[in-house]
Structures are given as C-alpha cells and as structure tokens.
C-alpha cells in the first residue's frame, strides 16, 4: 500500500478536518458586517467535501489495525455527510439572525469536528481509538447545545449534556477496562478471539451497552434526551437526533457483531429488554408532548427501539437493515425537522397546537411534514415503511416473534401521535394560523431532497440490495 492510499483511506477524516480549519480561518478574515457570507462559503466547502468523499477507495487497515476502512464504513460516513449537508442547508435562516453573527464559523467547525470524531469511531479497530473518537464527537456537542448561550434553556441543555455525558463516558470507560482485564487486549480482533462469557466480561458488556445506550437514547439511558433536544437550537436538535445517534448506532452494531460475536446470547437478552422498554416508554411519552422538539425527541427514542430489532437479527441481514433504516431515517427525520425549523424561524411557533390550520396557509410545508410523519409511522409506500419492515423481518428471521409483535403494537401506537400532528395541520380549525411565509432557498432545496429521498429510497429496491451485498462481504 502506497502512502497515497493510506491518506486516501482517511479521506473522510482529513477532508472534514481541513474543512473545519478552512472555515474558521475564513471567518477570521471576513469583515464584521459580512459575516453571513461565511454561511455560503461553508456550504460550498462542505458540499465539495461530501462529493469528494464519495470517491471509492480500496478497503484496508491503518496504524497497525487501529483504523479500518471498508465499503460499509465508507457508506456509513457518506450517509452521515449527506445528513449534515442537509442540516447545513436548513441552518441558514437560523444563523442569519443578528445574535449569531459573531459565531457562525463555530457552528460549522464544531459540527465538522464532531464528525471527525464519529468517523474515527466508526472506523476504529480498537477500543482506544473508539473511545477517543467517541469523546471527540461528544464534547463539542455540549458547546453546540449551548449555542444560544444567553437563553437559559439552551445553557441548561449544554450543562445537562456535558454532565450526563461524562457520567456515561465514565461508566463506558470503566466497562472497557473490564473488557481489557478479561481479555488482555484492546484490539477488536484479539478480544473477539478470546471472548468468553465471564462475570467480568458481562459487567464490561453492560457498561459498554449503557454508554452507547446514552448516545442512542435507549431507555433507561435516555433521560437527557428530551431536555437537551428542547433546549438546544433546533438545527442542533436535528443533528443530535440524526447524525450523532446514527454514528453511535453504526459503531454499536459493528462492535456487537464483531467483538461480542461469541456471546450473542447474552447481549441479545440485554437488547431484548432495552428494545421493549425503549419502544414502549418512548411512545408513551411521545403521546403527551405538545412541543414539537420534545415530540420529535421521544419519537426518535421510540425509533431507536425499533433499530434494536434490526440489530438483534445479527449477521449481514441485521447490519443491512440497520444501515438501510438509518439511511431512510436521515431523510425522514430531517424532513420533519426541516419543516419545524422553517416554521420556527418564520413565526417562532414550536408547539403542535400552534400548527393548527397550517395546510390552509402553507400547503407545501404541510405536505412535506405529512410525508415525513407518514414515513416515521411506517405507512406504505413511503420509505419508512420499508425501513421498518426490514427491521422487523430481521428480528423475525431470528425467531423473535413476540418482540416483533410488541414492536408492531408500538408502531400502531406511534401512528396515533404522528397522525395527531397531521390532523392539527390539515383538519383542525384555527382563527389565527401561522401566516404564509417563504422559506430560504437552502431550506427549500433541503426539503425537496428529503421528500425525494422519502419516496425514492423506498421504491429503488437496488439500494437495499447494495447495502446487503456490501455487508455480506463483512459479516
């Protein structure tokens, strides 16, 4: 392997780092009254980064096995890049507010730096790289959550996130040290070979699961989610619920499938319990929310419970269903968040009851919201249906029929609260609905992409086949 190929394998990480640095420098050299031009600049830079990262590279490992790149990890990173690009397009309206003019560069740079951490985490080949990647991805998030630092809710969100996140990291690290103690190695491949069930290993496994459960918002490790989602700026909430969660889901699945392969029986019991709890509690809380951000927070918790079903299918099918679901979830959830962002930017309305009568004034936005909610609820023929269907198939193939039954019941309950939003927009009467407004170009573009994705991913059966094929190479 030549040096160039080494560098090329790291293309996601290098490009993201460069982009973050370039954006910060560019902001430094921009006159104060023209700071908003940084937004456009960052969009251009990141679009180039996203496109350049699509260039395929040969699989390989670096740094003595600490870093591994293959087609599956590349795909995961590309999915995250696309998600972030959509979020960036949706952020323009928020960042153009006068109070944000002095910290535009930070917004982009911090997000990109967390992305670097996530990409390293996804490609990690040992627990040390994994942990460093995880922390790189976590710490700036607290800063992002507190981005509206003069708003007490946002500041509260930042503090809560950093405190709870450090508890989670501490427990995770404790668990990793136990795994090291039980196996004598930090490398995934070595540990996988020596993996046997022992009380020490079980302790390590559960602490690892709880640490990841924090990032993915699995019940009972989820309690930060609603408060932070509500307090953080809405674009950061979107980022937390899609990208941050997605990266954690990817590496969680990879590590469970590789490192803990020998003790599948044990972790599947844990996931079974977590899946039931997460789906059910997430749904029960979502039923009563009126704040759209809290609503989407609990909805995303419930969705995380469904993802566990895919993981429990194990093997290439399990992996493929999880990746496919995340791909669908990116477009679906960002579609919903995009509409919520557009409405918040234009009118400051953040509540579902405030959405009443929206269809009369803003029919296009209402339709996209409806599409996204249908996809979240899993109504055919939109992509969300296929995503959920495959997850359930994966679990059912492994014989978890009762679990699938519970999931189906939960999906039915979720249908109720998703449709409540649709009903508010389309059916409920309102004396003073949100007035008609025109969203930014970037927002319109991002929503068009989301709507297209929600349809196209479901219909293009080749996508799932592709993901299945590349995960067959590995699992």
Partner 1 sequence: MVDFSYTFLIPLIPLVVFLITGLLGMKWKPMVSGIIGTVGLLIAWLLSLYTGYEYFLAHTVEHYQTIIPINMLWLSFTNSLQIHMGVLIDPISVLMLIVVTTISLMAHMYSLGYMKGETGFARYYAFLSLFTFSMLGLVLSTNIFQMYIFWELVGASSFLLIGFYYTKPSAVAAAKKAFIVTRFADFGFLVGILVLSFLTRTFDFSKLTEPGTTIFASSAGVTFMGVSALSWAMSLIFIGGAGKSAMFPFHIWLPDAMEGPTPVSSLIHAATMVVAGVYLVARLFPIYHFQTPQVLIMIGYVGGFTSLFAAIIAMTQFDIKRVLAYSTLSQIGYMMVGLGVSGFGGDHGLGYMAGMFHLFTHSMFKALLFLGAGSIIHAVHSNEMKDMGGLRKYMPITHITFLTACLAISGVPPFAGFFSKDEILAAALESNKLLYWTEYITAGLTSFYIFRLYFRIFWGKNTDYGHHTPHESPWVMTVPLIFLALGSAFGGWIPFHDFVTPDLAPMVHKMEWLDTIPSVLIGLVGIFAAWYLYKKESSRPKAVVDFLGNLHTWAYHKFYIDEIYLFITRKIMFGMIATGIAWFDRHIVDGFMFGVADVTMALSGKIKKFQSGNLQEYAFVYVAGALALVLTLLYVFVK
Q: Which is nearer to partner 1, 72 or 178 (CB)?
A: 178
Give first-to-last CA distance, the chain, whole Å: 24
Residue 395's Cβ-side half-sphere holds a number of Cα atoms within 13 Å equal to 28
Q: Which is nearer to partner 1, 189 or 266 (CB)?
A: 266
Q: Which is nearer to partner 1, 198 or 353 (CB)?
A: 198
463 part of the interface to partner 1, by CB under 8 A: no
Q: Which is nearer to partner 1, 205 or 343 (CB)?
A: 205
Q: Which string of DSSP letters, residue by residue, matches 351-407? A: BSGGGTTHHHH-HHHHHHHHHHHHHHHT-TTSHHHHHHHHHHHHHHHTT-HHHHHHH
Of these, 104, 118, 157, 164, which contacts partner 1 (CB under 8 A)? 164
160 part of the interface to partner 1, by CB under 8 A: yes
415 part of the interface to partner 1, by CB under 8 A: no
CA gap 451, 129 in Å, rounded:
37
227 part of the interface to partner 1, by CB under 8 A: yes
Element (H, E) at 97: none
200 part of the interface to partner 1, by CB under 8 A: no
DSSP label of 126: B
**Contacting range for partner 1; rule: CB under 8 A; set: 107-115, 139-147, 218-226, 248-256:** 218-226
273 part of the interface to partner 1, by CB under 8 A: yes
Q: What residues contact 430, with CB distance under 8 A and at least 6 apart?
A: 356, 357
**Contacting range for partner 1; rule: CB under 8 A; set: 30-38, 68-76, 214-222, 334-342:** 214-222
Residue pair 229/286 in contact (Cβ under 8 Å)? The answer is no
Site for partner 1 in 251-270 (CB under 8 A): 266, 269-270
Which of 156, 114, 125 lies closest to 245 in space, CA to CA? 114
Of these, 203, 264, 360, 474, which contacts partner 1 (CB under 8 A)? 203
Which of 157, 159, 259, 160 lies closest to 209 in space, CA to CA? 259
- Tell me the closest approach of the beta carbon of residue 148 to partner 1, in angstroms: 18
CA gap 426, 226 in Å, rounded:
26
Per CB under 8 A, residues contacting partner 1 are: 160, 163-164, 167-168, 171, 197, 199, 202-203, 205-207, 209-210, 214, 219-221, 223-224, 226-227, 266, 269-270, 273-274, 281, 284-285, 287-288, 413, 416
């Amino acid at each position: 392997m030549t040096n160039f190929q080494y560098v090329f394998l790291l293309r996601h990480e290098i490009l993201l780092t460069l982009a973050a640095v370039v954006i910060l420098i560019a902001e430094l050299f921009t006159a104060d009254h023209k700071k908003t031009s940084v937004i456009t600049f960052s969009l251009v830079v990141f679009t180039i980064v996203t496109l350049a990262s699509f260039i395929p590279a040969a699989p390989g490992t670096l740094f003595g096995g600490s870093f591994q790149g293959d087609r599956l990890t590349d795909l995961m990173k590309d999915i995250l890049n696309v998600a972030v690009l959509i979020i960036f397009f949706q952020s323009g309206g928020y960042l153009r507010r006068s109070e944000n003019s002095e910290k535009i560069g930070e917004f982009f740079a911090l997000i990109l730096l967390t992305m670097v951490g996530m990409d390293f985490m996804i490609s990690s080949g040992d627990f040390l790289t994994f942990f460093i990647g995880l922390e790189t991805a976590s710490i700036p998030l607290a800063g992002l959550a507190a981005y509206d630092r003069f708003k007490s809710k946002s500041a509260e969100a930042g503090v809560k996130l950093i405190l709870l996140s450090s508890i989670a990291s501490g427990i995770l690290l404790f668990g990793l040290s136990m795994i090291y103690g039980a196996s004598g190695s930090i490398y995934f491949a070595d540990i996988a070979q020596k993996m046997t069930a022992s009380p020490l290993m079980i302790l390590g496994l559960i602490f690892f699961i709880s640490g990841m459960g924090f990032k993915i918002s699995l019940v009972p490790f989820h309690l930060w989610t609603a408060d932070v989602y509500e307090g953080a700026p809405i674009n950061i909430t979107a980022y937390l619920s899609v990208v941050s969660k997605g990266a954690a889901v990817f590496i969680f699945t990879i590590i469970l499938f590789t490192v803990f392969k020998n003790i599948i029986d044990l972790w599947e019991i844990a996931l079974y319990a977590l899946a039931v709890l997460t789906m059910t509690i997430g749904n029960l809380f979502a039923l009563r929310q009126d704040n759209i951000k809290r609503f989407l927070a609990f909805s995303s918790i419930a969705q995380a419970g469904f993802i566990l079903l895919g993981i429990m299918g194990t093997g290439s099918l399990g992996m493929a269903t999880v990746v496919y679901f995340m791909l669908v979830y990116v477009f679906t959830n960002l579609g919903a968040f995009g509409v919520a962002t557009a409405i918040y930017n234009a009118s400051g309305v953040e509540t579902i009851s405030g959405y009443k009568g929206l269809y009369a004034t803003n029919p296009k936005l209402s339709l996209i919201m409806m599409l996204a909610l249908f996809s979240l609820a899993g109504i055919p023929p939109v992509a969300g249906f296929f995503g959920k269907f495959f997850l359930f198939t994966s679990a059912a193939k492994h014989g978890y029929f009762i679990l699938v039954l519970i999931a189906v019941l939960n999906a039915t309950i979720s249908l109720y609260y998703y449709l409540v939003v649709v009903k508010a927009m389309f059916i409920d009467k309102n004396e003073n609905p949100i007035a008609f407004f025109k969203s930014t170009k970037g927002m319109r573009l991002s929503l068009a992409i989301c709507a297209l994705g929600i349809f196209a991913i479901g219909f293009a059966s080749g996508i799932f086949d592709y993901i299945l094929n590349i995960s067959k190479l590995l699992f």
